């Protein structure tokens, strides 16, 4: 469902690499659907939405803009299974509406928050689960890059942008590592070069207690060459540390390779060999997880709609914190 850029660049390449059969594609812009079908040798281009949802036994990959997601979900067959594009609507109210629709129509749904399925992140979660890093006490995401927002014209005019369309991945990944934050603080702001985009730079703090620091610093308008670009997640625990590089943000959309380094207690930094990158390889994860859950091979659904709703709740709290603007600085007595 949908044949936009992300479907061409990530969804269909990942499904082809994983050997998942795609029975057809639908997009109201029929030329986009035909282009995808030709490029990836898909057997069918559906002429209408009704034709597409009539396919028996299919899992629906709903890759549509967030403004259309609720309406599409309401038209999916009862009892079906669907992978929904992120974000889960533009705010928590829409996320709640979509989740309620899925419950009422018995739709088994996951949300395509795929950073948690990237090879580097899977290796990091494994190291953390095995206790190699000890208890996490420091988590920081730093992105300083040039993101070509002009590739996505639909972003202009959206009431919200950076947090639900980009940093949602980092927030979801942090939740997978540290659990649910207690409080949040944050600010998300515009950039003069993109005045029609709601915001594209974010600073956020997620509160996990008195001895855990968790922060995000996201800047998408670095115009000064590649030397000081950054796209990384740093995690430190009581017994070790990790540095994960997300290469897709560096020279987007071509990107650079992901990497993961670990420094265990008393040892030097070691690079962990990886097979694949966030884009497009991680896009196998949400779909395979959903298929395994629906078929009964897995008892838990990683990336479920309930988990995505909790990620949206963190984003909603960050917008509330942004609106509050924090504590004013005392002016003092100049007399």
How confident is residue 29, by pLDDT bands cut at 50, 70 and 90? very high
How confident is residue 334, by pLDDT bands cut at 50, 70 and 90? low
Per-residue pLDDT reduced to its tens digit, 239-251 = 999 999 999 999 9
97 domain-assigned: yes
The reply to whether 108 and 121 lie within a common domain is: no
This prediction has a pTM of 0.96
The reply to whether 97 and 129 lie within a common domain is: no
The reply to whether 230 and 131 lie within a common domain is: yes
CA dihedral angle for residue 218, residue 223, residue 228, residue 234, rounded to 10 degrees = 10
The reply to whether 212 and 226 lie within a common domain is: yes
Give pLDDT, residue 152.
87
300 domain-assigned: no
Give pLDDT, residue 335.
56
Per-residue pLDDT reduced to its tens digit, 3-19 = 999 999 999 999 999 99
Give pLDDT, residue 266.
87
Range of the domain at 93: 5-113+284-292
Q: Would you call 47 exposed, middle or buried from its count of C-beta atoms within 10 A (0-12, 13-18, 19+)?
A: exposed
Crossing angle for the helix pair 66-73 and 92-104, to the nearest 10 degrees: 20
Q: Would you call 152 exposed, middle or buried from its count of C-beta atoms within 10 A (0-12, 13-18, 19+)?
A: middle
Per-residue pLDDT reduced to its tens digit, 281-297 = 999 999 999 999 999 99
The partner residues of 207 in beta bridges, in order of sequence, read 183
How confident is residue 254, by pLDDT bands cut at 50, 70 and 90? confident
Residue 155, Ramachandran bin (φ over 0: left; ψ between -120 and 50: alpha; else beta): alpha
152 domain-assigned: yes
Do the beta carbons of residue 201 and residue 191 sit within 8 Å? yes
Per-residue pLDDT reduced to its tens digit, 112-154 = 999 999 999 999 999 999 999 999 999 999 999 999 999 888 8
253 domain-assigned: yes
Angle among Cα 155, 158, 164 to the nearest 5 degrees reads 80
The reply to whether 227 and 92 lie within a common domain is: no
Give pLDDT, residue 332.
80
Number of domains in the chain: 2
For the chain, give the mean pLDDT: 96
Per-residue pLDDT reduced to its tens digit, 59-73 = 999 999 999 999 999
Q: Which residue do the tokens 């034709």 mark?
A: 51
């Amino acid at each position: 469902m949908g044949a936009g850029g992300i479907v061409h660049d990530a969804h269909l390449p990942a499904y082809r690499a994983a050997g998942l059969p795609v029975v057809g594609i639908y997009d109201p812009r029929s030329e986009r659907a035909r282009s995808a079908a030709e490029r990836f040798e898909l057997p069918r281009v559906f002429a209408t939405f009704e034709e597409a949802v009539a396919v028996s036994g299919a899992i629906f990959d709903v890759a549509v803009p967030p403004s259309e997601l609720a309406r599409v979900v309401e038209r999916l067959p009862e009892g079906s299974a669907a992978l929904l594009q992120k974000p889960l609507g533009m705010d928590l109210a829409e996320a709640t509406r979509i989740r309620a629709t899925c419950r009422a129509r018995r739709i088994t749904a996951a949300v395509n928050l795929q950073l948690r399925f990237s090879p580097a992140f899977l290796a990091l979660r494994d190291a953390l689960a095995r206790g190699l890093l000890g208890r996490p006490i420091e988590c920081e995401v730093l992105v300083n890059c040039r993101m070509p927002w002009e590739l996505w014209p639909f972003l202009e005019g959206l009431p919200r942008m950076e947090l639900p369309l980009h940093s949602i991945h980092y927030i979801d990944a942090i939740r997978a590592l540290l659990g649910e934050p207690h409080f949040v603080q944050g600010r998300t702001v515009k950039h003069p070069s993109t005045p029609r985009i709601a915001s594209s730079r974010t600073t956020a703090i997620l509160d996990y207690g008195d001895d855990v620091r968790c922060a995000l610093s996201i800047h998408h308008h670095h115009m000064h060459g590649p030397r000081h670009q950054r796209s990384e997640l740093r995690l430190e625990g009581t017994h070790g540390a990790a540095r994960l590089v997300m290469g897709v943000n560096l020279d987007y959309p071509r990107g650079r390779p992901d990497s993961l380094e670990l420094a265990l207690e008393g040892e030097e930094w070691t690079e962990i060999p990886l097979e694949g990158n966030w884009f497009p390889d991680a896009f196998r994860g949400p779909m395979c997880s959903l298929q395994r859950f629906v078929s009964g091979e897995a008892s838990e659904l990683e990336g479920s709609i309930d988990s995505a709703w909790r990620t949206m709740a963190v984003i909603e709290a960050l917008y509330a914190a942004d609106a509050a603007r924090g504590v004013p600085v005392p002016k003092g007595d100049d007399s």
